[in-house]
Structure 1
Amino acid sequence: MISSLTGTVQAVALNTAVIDVNGFGMLVNATPGTLSTLQAGREATVFTSMVVREDSMTLFGFATAEERDVFEVLVSVSGIGPRTGLAILAVHSPEEVRIAANTKDTAAFTKVSGIGPKGASRIVLELNGKLIPTGAPAAPSTGGGNASVWEPQVIEALTGLGWSEKDATSTLKSLSKADPDVVATGNVAEILRAALRSMSSGTRA
């Protein structure tokens, strides 16, 4: 089982990245938050989970071991495939998933594209006792509150997911007013999650 990869990033695409590990190009599926931390030509480490099917072996990569661990619990739930598990972690941080599962917050899961009320109810039922909040503080800032540092990265990630640059810019502008605490962190992954929640719900923060 491959639990992590360290190597040079060869390419970063819409939902995947290729990491060169000793001459082998390893294709890794990942969330926008994880992909936003990878840059072609630079060395990186991603924590991985391998999903084995009869006709395929697919690697899913995460910026932290905690994300990978929560992903593996999520995909153990009936009806949650790896793509849905990845989508949940694109919208919510690992701690937010733990809190939602522990408090039976079905609304948190319906914010994820493709999950309706019935699916969310089943998820919280099956996650009962499997994910407990750790009380961990929010992830540290990776770029400070200066928008010139994080904004281009977030806009690039959103446009890479199919949103127009106009919509991405408008959402970030609204997010700055509606959720200034998140924006003030300058944390690319957290801001991206907040923007995705806003865009997926059909609102502008």
Structure 2
Amino acid sequence: MIAKLKGLLDSTGIDHAIIDVAGVGYLVGASSRTLAALGSVGEACTVYTEMLVSQDSIRLMGFASGEERDWFRLLTGVQGVGGRVALAILSALEPAELHRSVAMGDKAMVARANGVGPKLAARIVNELKDKIGAAPIGSAMAGGLAAVPVGNHASDAVSALQNLGFRPAEASIAVAAAEGELGEGATLDALVRLALKKAAK
């Protein structure tokens, strides 16, 4: 399986790029964010890849970061989300935004992507919420979550959960979810209690 390509950017299209690796041109599907991050034609670039195999085709998808590829894998694991829809979501939301939207249950944000209706957005949020809480993907994604809680006691609550053995990303997700229910004016005690309940689910 091809996991990464490093070469020269040969050309780009609306939803794909061709990467020249030692004279061989690889056609990779890509989100608009990845295409923008690749640079100019003729420049060196690196893409992380995922191979999609179906009965009638084999397609290579390319991503500017490992986090984006991880999200693509998660998204395509949801019923009704194919490669095209997953790329549309990743074009509309960067990984940190998508992580926050799912963690906070923000279906409307996910539904901003082309081809994603309210029902599909709800399914994506519901199916992935537990997965990203139990298994945060990638250090950059976990780092992006550090800014999710915004209330006065949020950072203290995150620290409290970490002291109890929760990973930073798990603690951030739980505190952000608790804060979403209680509001930014919640007391530290209330925030920690609710965050513990959410983290233990």
Aligned residue number for residue 116 of structure 1: 117
- Note the 1:36-115 alignment, pairs <5 A: 36-38=36-38, 39-115=40-116
Deviation at 1:94?
0.7
Task: Give, in whole Å, the separation in 2 of the partners of 1:92 and 1:117.
Answer: 16
Shift in alpha-carbon separation, 1:36–1:101, aligned structure 2, 3 A: same
> Distance between the aligned counterparts of 1:68 and 1:32, measured in 2?
14
User: SS at 1:128's partner residue?
Assistant: helix
Between Structure 1 and Structure 2, the one with more helix by share is 2
Q: Does 1:136 align with 2:143?
A: yes
Q: Give CA deviations for 1:97-147 in whole Å, capped at 9, x if unaligned.
A: 111112211111111111111111111111131124644249xxxxxxxxx
CA distance in 2, matches of 1:100, 1:126: 13
Give the gaps of 5 or more residues in structure 1: 139-205
- Distance in 2 (CA, whole Å) between partners of 1:36 and 1:123 is 25
1:21 aligns with 2:28: no
Return the alpha-carbon distance in structure 1 between the equivalents of residues 19 and 142 of structure 2.
Answer: 33
Name the amino acid aligned to 2:44.
Answer: E
Between the aligned partners of 2:77 and 2:48, the Cα distance in structure 1 is 18
Q: CA deviation at 1:74?
A: 0.6
Alignment partners' CA distance in 2, 1:82 and 1:106: 20
Of structures 1 and 2, the larger Rg is shown by 2
- Matched letter for residue 127 of structure 2: E
Structure 2 unaligned residues grouped into runs of 5+: 146-201
Percent of residue pairs identical: 42
Q: What residue is the counterpart of 2:34 in the other structure?
A: 34
**Counterparts of 1:36 and 1:127 in 2: how far apart (Å)?**
27
**Aligned-partner SS, 1:123:** helix
Aligned length: 138
Residues of 1 paired with 2:64 and 2:37: CA distance?
8
Point out the more displaced range, 76-85 or 103-112.
Answer: 103-112
- The alignment's TM-score, normalised by the length of structure 1, stands at 0.63
TM-score by length of 2: 0.65
CA drift of 1:37 comes to 2.4
Q: Which amino acid aligns with 2:52?
A: V
Shift in Å, 1:4 = 0.7
Of stretches 128-137 and 75-84 in structure 1, the one that deviates more from structure 2 is 128-137
Q: Counterpart of 2:177?
A: none
Q: Distance in 1 between matches of 2:128 and 2:35?
A: 27
Distance 2:142 2:52 in 1: 29
> What SS does the corresponding residue of 1:55 show, helix, strand or coil?
coil
Q: How far apart, in 1, do the equivalents of 2:132 and 2:144 lie?
A: 17
Q: How far 1:31 sits from its partner (Å)? A: 1.2
Of structures 1 and 2, the one with the larger relative CO (CA 8 A, separation 6+) is 1
SS of the residue corresponding to residue 129 of structure 1 reads: helix
Root mean square deviation, CA, Å: 1.6
Deviation at 1:59, TM superposition (A): 0.9
For 1:45, the aligned partner's letter is T
